[in-house]
Amino acid sequence: MYVIGTAGHVDHGKTSLIEALTGTNPDRLPEEKARGMTIDLGFAWFPGRGGEPIGVIDVPGHERYIRNMVAGAWSLDCALLLVAADDGWMQQTQDHAIVLAALGVPSIILVVAKIDAVEPARVEEVGRDSLERCQSIFGYRPSTISVSAHLGKNVQELKALIIETLSCLVADASAPRFPYIYVDRVFIMKGSGLVVTGSLKGAPFVKEEDLVILPQGEAIRVRAVQSYNEGILRPEPTSRIGLNLQKTKADIQRGDCITLRRAPFACETEFIARIAPMKPFLLSGSAPEGGEASIRNHSEVEVALGTGHEIAEVHFLEDRRFARFLLRSKLPGLWNQAFLIIRHGGSTILGSGRILWFGDVQKEARRRLYPLIAALPDPASEVDHFLLDLRFAGFCPAPTDAFLLKACEGESILLETWIFHHAWMDAITREIVKLASRPPGISEKELESKIELEAAPLSKILAFLLAAKTLEEVKGLYVQPGNTASIQLAPLARRMLAEVKKAGKAAFELSRAGVDPAHGELKTLTRLGLVVKLEGPLYYERGVYEEIASEVLAGLNPGERISVPEAKERCGLSRKFMLPLLNHMEKEGWLRREGDQRVVLKVMGQEGLPSSNSSGRV
């Protein structure tokens, strides 16, 4: 399945040629028919060699509608670049050719149109000049044909050339493997409701999949799918499709994207991109009217991405090859996706770009990010994207793609489901060892907070460091190997431990201690497993807590129940102490609350005493 489109200067015969190819006049708006000029996207199709439909998009040629032209060109498999034989190459021919090159349209056919209006010599002259200009813009001389839509001359030959050109296209291995549609039309159909249309790219579309509309991020329900005037269950890319949605017209607009929830689209108001100015596309002496177009630093421009466009501030990084774009509102986009840069409020194309990073990056982080982005090859691949993320973040979930794993094995280490960059791993190891060297060591929970790392990757790192004997674990704390002296108690901690033990069943209450730094020492004692902290906060020496817990569970079997009054009677404690103790036993998995009673889950002798640590002493 393929979609082609026209491009070229206003009144160079694009709409007439489409009507000759398809039998359909794509101008759908009354004002277009009245003015004889396409101002918005038009659509038609004709059957290919095997009867499969080839979609055709008609784009406006007037400079005021360059944004609409980009909205039609982003999805094309082939573009017909029209040059009227009587006018020759014009400014909008140039602009449209630049758009096609910047968006990476895979194939171009140069069509010299209106050949019935001039002598054959003029046709040849326009063809030669246009091919030279195409060479400078596309880097190659495209196939060319001369036609007259009015007389029907060479129309069938053009159709055959289109089919042959499309059949020679090679599948892009880097193309997305999920369906997505940038919306280009939104309307209400009587009896059906809201309908949106767009060009399907990426993968086949299945309406029952988990779909969202971006940038809103809202789930959508598709009632029906139509392609080329027929209901269809599973349209293939690239094809024109219409979706009947269970939404209101206010919920969606041109520029929105419909895709799978899991698709890697980003919806940000900031991105960093590689910039290609307009100048390299131009022949000597062919600068736009009013002088060479340029992008001014810190200026406002318009970004045209997919079928949408938005005003943005542009700020160059350390050189003019890369820039940050700060958008007024979100546009959905993919990594390495091409976009156009247009002068704010005008129609002049200033350049193009490819997105290399989404989201806000603070100034210090940008200093680290810039050399990584600057080192990316052009064009960049999926492997380059993965390596960029890994080098900047230092770690990420391990990819399922064996090719990606192979590409980064020389500079990374794989720990089960996570992959870590060597340089980052070395730095984080030094930091962890430094923290673990401070008495009395450090817990995993504290490390999460200190080095601002999530539990999942941190646990893999700690397991690796333990296996490598870079760390030791003692009573839930990580210390340097052989440095057991690092967990010796400070004098104040020993004093606090004695105070807690002295309190016995009455429990120690910090508010009555009268020692300012005692909270930190109690925290250390709790981490070492010497003290048990209950709600209140109340503190029990580990041996005292285990003694009370044993009294609660004595003689009970799993499944039996005990009430709070019964527990109080067994232990001789008041409700003030009994409730926090029972709650702690619930947390440790010995009891389960059911109404006003507790159900016994484990008994003594099965798994030792009800504690999360051994009752060793320091």
Q: What is the pLDDT of residues 456-491, one digit of tens each?
A: 999 999 999 999 999 988 877 888 886 655 456 667
Residues 8 and 115 in one domain: yes
Q: Which pLDDT belongs to residue 613?
A: 37
425 near 396, Cβ under 8 Å? no
Question: Which pLDDT score, from 0 to 100, does residue 517 have?
Answer: 56
Q: What is the pLDDT of residue 522?
A: 81
Residue 81 in any domain: the answer is yes
Residue 611 has pLDDT above 50, yes or no: no
As to burial, measured by CB atoms within 10 angstroms (0-12 exposed, 13-18 middle, 19+ buried), residue 125 is middle
pLDDT in tens, 17-66: 999 999 887 655 344 344 443 435 688 889 988 889 999 998 764 456 68
- Asked whether residue 23 falls in the same domain as residue 162, the answer is yes
The verdict on residue 610 lying in a domain is no
pLDDT > 60? residue 77: yes
Q: What is the pLDDT of residues 367-409, one digit of tens each?
A: 999 999 999 998 899 999 999 999 999 999 999 888 888 888 8
> How large is the average pLDDT for residues 578-584?
92
Q: Which of 260, 281, 315 is the last residue of a domain?
A: 260
Q: What percent of the chain has pLDDT over 70?
A: 89
Residues 444 and 515 in one domain: no
Last residue within a domain, chosen from 167, 191, 216:
167
- d(CA 291, CA 308) in angstroms, rounded, equals 28
pTM: 0.75
CA 164 and chain centroid, separation: 36
Residue 180 corresponds to which amino acid?
Answer: Y
Whether the pLDDT of residue 504 is over 70: the answer is: yes
pLDDT bracket for residue 617 (50, 70, 90): very low
- What is the average per-residue pLDDT within 286-314? 80
What is the predicted pLDDT for the residue at 13? 86
Burial class (CB in 10 A: 0-12, 13-18, 19+), 62: middle
> Is 39 or 424 the better-scoring residue by pLDDT?
424
Nearest CA among 184, 217, 219 for reference residue 199: 184
Tell me the average pLDDT of the chain: 86
Residues 281 and 337 in one domain: yes
Closest CA to 172 of 107, 79, 97: 107
Q: Is 367 found in the same domain as 272?
A: yes
- What is the band of 516 on the pLDDT scale with cuts at 50, 70, 90? low
The H or E element that residue 427 is part of is: helix 422-436
**pLDDT, position 411:** 92
Banded pLDDT at 153 (limits 50, 70, 90): very high
Q: Which of 276-285, 313-322, 401-410, 527-536 has the lowest mean pLDDT?
A: 276-285
pLDDT at 151 over 50: yes
Concatenated DSSP letters for 363-396? HHHHHHHHHHHHTS-SS--HHHHHHHHHHHHSEE
pLDDT value for 596:
86
The residue range of the domain holding 80 is 2-167
Residue that finishes a domain, picked among 244, 260, 276: 260
Which pLDDT does position 527 carry in this prediction?
Answer: 74
- Residue 449 sits in the same domain as residue 507: no
**pLDDT at residue 616 in the model:** 33
68 in helix, strand or coil?
helix
44 shares its domain with 13:
yes
What's the pLDDT band for 181 if we cut at 50, 70, 90? very high
- Tell me, yes or no, whether 110 and 245 share the same domain: no
Q: Do 277 and 351 form a contact (C-beta atoms < 8 A)?
A: yes
Q: How far apart are CA 354 and CA 274, in angstroms?
A: 5
Q: What is the pLDDT of residue 123?
A: 95
Q: What is the DSSP letter of 237?
A: S
500 and 437 within one domain? no
Nearest-CA neighbor of 137 among 169, 103, 94? 94
Q: What share of the chain is helix, strand, coil (3-state, %, to 5)?
A: 35, 30, 35
